[in-house]
Amino acid sequence: MNLALRDKAARYCAVEDRCSQTVRRKLREWGATPDEEREIVDYLIAECFVDDMRYARTYCGSKLRYQHWGRIKVAYQLRINGIDSAVAREVVQEVMTDEEYVEIMRRVADTKWASLRVDVATRRVKVISFLVSRGYELDLAKRVVCDIQ
């Protein structure tokens, strides 16, 4: 195993949570062979530098709470980052309660509603479209927008 590359990868993972797929991609960029890549990732997992479940929880919490993404978008992005879809759905449900999720969605909808200067019917359509584009569920978006005004 290339110790310099292993230590570089460990420092890379120590900065913030990374998923195994991201680490593999970075190792390839750094010129690791497939065998070195496998050995280094196995080492990083064994030493708790890489934990896909921990990464998924951190990523999910950050995107839901701070960037106000919906569950659909978060789960999709987790799948893109190599997290199993069943794990992604589970983590998205466990990280945030339904009440907190709906409250965040209401704040996002209220902000968007206030920023639009069109008639009420058009405003409703635009806010629902905006919420769906942020990854919120359509039926929930409709209910939240109906509660506005």
pTM, two decimals, is 0.86
Task: Specify the DSSP class assigned to residue 149.
Answer: -
Task: Specify the DSSP class assigned to residue 53.
Answer: H
Q: How far is CA 78 from CA 31, 63, 83, 91, in A?
A: 26, 11, 5, 10
73 contacts: CB under 8 Å, gap ≥ 6: 63, 134, 135
Predicted confidence (pLDDT) per residue in 128-149, tens digit: 999 999 999 999 999 999 988 6
Predicted confidence (pLDDT) per residue in 106-134, tens digit: 999 999 999 999 999 999 999 999 999 99
Q: How far apart are CA 140 and CA 111, in angstroms?
A: 17
